[in-house]
A and B are shown apart, each in its own frame.
Chain A
Amino acid sequence: DAKTTQPPSMDCAEGRAANLPCNHSTISGNEYVYWYRQIHSQGPQYIIHGLKNNETNEMASLIITEDRKSSTLILPHATLRDTAVYYCIVRVGHTGKLIFGQGTTLQVKP
């Protein structure tokens, strides 16, 4: 599975959009980009995934560059409860193991 690179930490003001970047320059054509988050002391929670098109759900939007070498997770209106570690993961297909990197610690501030 391709490796990902994320900034170790980011801050965001409550109510503003949080944009979390991820680099995956060695991604293969059959690898999907997945985002999970882990709120303190809980198991990771699925957020969104995509292959090459931009995706949106009730939690977030995922923007994947045309060359697929990077992506951005967007939380449109961050709240204090969005404070968590966010993991960007690439993997082949929809099944199989997830390999976690170090993630980005997002701190939403009032």
Chain B
Amino acid sequence: DAEITQSPRHKITETGRQVTLACHQTWNHNNMFWYRQDLGHGLRLIHYSYGVHDTNKGEVSDGYSVSRSNTEDLPLTLESAASSQTSVYFCASSGTTSGGALYNEQFFGPGTRLTVL
């Protein structure tokens, strides 16, 4: 069965370190998304990609970067981790219609809980 996986599931790091969270999907979806979930804020969009070599900033992109070198993966990098980036991170993907429109139904990974000390 197709799926979307995230690794690691839990990560503890120190302030100032670079951290990369992995996201891998086997749906063959063009569109991939990164969100962070914080109490009282719901899910907020960090970055997204509509295809290989395409990346776009979301609502809370400062301090984060992504690159898309293939269809299956969209790693999220925290260039210099800060305590404010302690959160649960979710990756999601969605398909595209034959006409090129975005399928809005997104499939979510299980999440990565990141703690920055």
A joins B in a complex: no
B residues whose Cβ falls under 8 Å from a Cβ of A: none
